[in-house]
Structure 1
């Protein structure tokens, strides 16, 4: 599968490294706001870099066609590439946490024309945590719930993943506690307070390459999906249902 990567910050560069090493994917190019540097060396590969502009993108895709876009840039990028995704039916995996409602509606609309996965945190582990937390919340709706998120010092906003956890558990934002500390990539913890016991579900991102393995997982799962808008939960539940069915038939 030929892939174009949008965004080459701290997360994007880690994702590029993972995708370039995965034999299932062929990382064709990287797009950034400025188009600099003009190329990136990953192992023995030299990956061209282009500027992400609406005027330039159509010609670039004609000359450098891909099957999928992986977006680790910012919420504004979707407006630049969405028309081309719709026209070409490109698969999209986006890990942007700051879409507003109108931007998110546009991504859902793209699901009519392409395979689109949208997840504010694209690590396999955190999405498994969310799935497990939802199950526990359903089993014990009476339990107290608190969410703790810790990130690197310069992250300004409340974690989009923490907001998603709160939404999935039907609790308000006041249940989220945020901490900013040097050296932390990402820590999310869901604490359930029961009478006489406590349950803690914890996920730590040790290196940003975890985002790359999550993106690679999503791309592979979407191969066998019809056109539509997906969350990471959808892909995991597809796997869970397959395992349950396999258990019933074995």
Structure 2
């Protein structure tokens, strides 16, 4: 699978490493805002000089409508910025799939991605790790089983993170919880990111938790997403939908076996 990566910041670099280390993938190119070291290779900066991958292009170069057809990939993985999606609109015309992992999109950006999904397969997730999406779906299922439980969401992040976690807000939304009353935030050094949903019952407590040990988890999730939609021609998908489909498929298989 040939991958084009948008963004080469703190998370983007680790995602690039995940792609390079995957034997079934090739990091064809990387698009950055900066033109510093343009037309060099990301792999050289990441310590893989014998396996040259990730040819650097500047964002300005993608403004050429023919850029994506002239530099074809199977999928674009986006870890750039909230405005980055407007730079790869022409990729949809070439049938290139899109995996967007931007944390904080407003509705106009989500609508724009949905418009692109009329031309190609698009997957969007504000938190693309496998664990957080498993937590989200599992929490919804458990809430259906124990609808009278007290529920609290705990999110822990590094000290510099501002505001409430977008993933925590989504969890609260999906569980119909007031985020002001039911989200508890902790900011301390040494934590990349942790989310926990606590279900309180009269005689027991159930906790579903996900802890990000390394930002490499985002790369693994993005590649999972890219593979999941590789046979789709068009459509808008989310990681939550993929996880829910996996739950349903597993239940169906178990019923057949029984």
Which of the five TM-score ranges fits, normalised by the shorter chain?
over 0.9
Query: For 1:46-85, what aligned pairs fall within 5 Å after superposition?
Result: 46=52, 47-53=54-60, 56-82=63-89, 84-85=90-91
**Offset of 1:131 from its aligned partner?**
0.8
Contact 1:54-1:80 at 8 Å conserved across structures: no
Partner of 1:125: 131
Task: Give the gaps of 5 or more residues in structure 1.
Answer: none
Partner of 1:215: 222
Contact 1:54-1:81 at 8 Å conserved across structures: no
Could you tell me which of 225, 246, 250 is aligned with 1:243? 250
**Offset of 1:54 from its aligned partner?**
7.1
Structure 1, 145-154 or 58-67: larger mean CA deviation: 58-67
Residues 107-127 of structure 1, C-alpha deviations (whole Å, 9 max, x = no match): 122221111111111111111
Partner of 2:18: 18
Tell me: CA distance 1:115–1:128, structure 2 relative to 1, closer, same or farther (3 Å): same
Structure 1, 205-214 or 236-245: larger mean CA deviation: 236-245
Partner of 2:238: 231
**Offset of 1:134 from its aligned partner?**
0.5
- Distance of 2:220 and 2:62 partners within structure 1: 32
Query: For 1:126-141, what aligned pairs fall within 5 Å after superposition?
Result: 126-141=132-147
Tell me: CA distance 1:54–1:156, structure 2 relative to 1, closer, same or farther (3 Å): farther
**Offset of 1:167 from its aligned partner?**
1.1
- Distance of 2:36 and 2:133 partners within structure 1: 33
3-state SS, counterpart of residue 74 of structure 1: coil
- Distance of 1:190 and 1:138 partners within structure 2: 14
Aligned residues: 249
Tell me: CA distance 1:141–1:116, structure 2 relative to 1, closer, same or farther (3 Å): same
- Distance of 1:224 and 1:62 partners within structure 2: 19
- Distance of 1:45 and 1:157 partners within structure 2: 40
Contact 1:36-1:49 at 8 Å conserved across structures: no
Structure 1, 217-226 or 34-43: larger mean CA deviation: 34-43
Partner of 2:170: 164
Structure 1 residue ranges (4+ consecutive) displaced by more than 3 angstroms after TM superposition: 53-60
Root-mean-square deviation (Å) = 1.8
Give the alignment's TM-score, normalised by structure 2: 0.90
**Offset of 1:246 from its aligned partner?**
2.7
Give the alignment's TM-score, normalised by structure 1: 0.92
3-state SS, counterpart of residue 45 of structure 1: coil
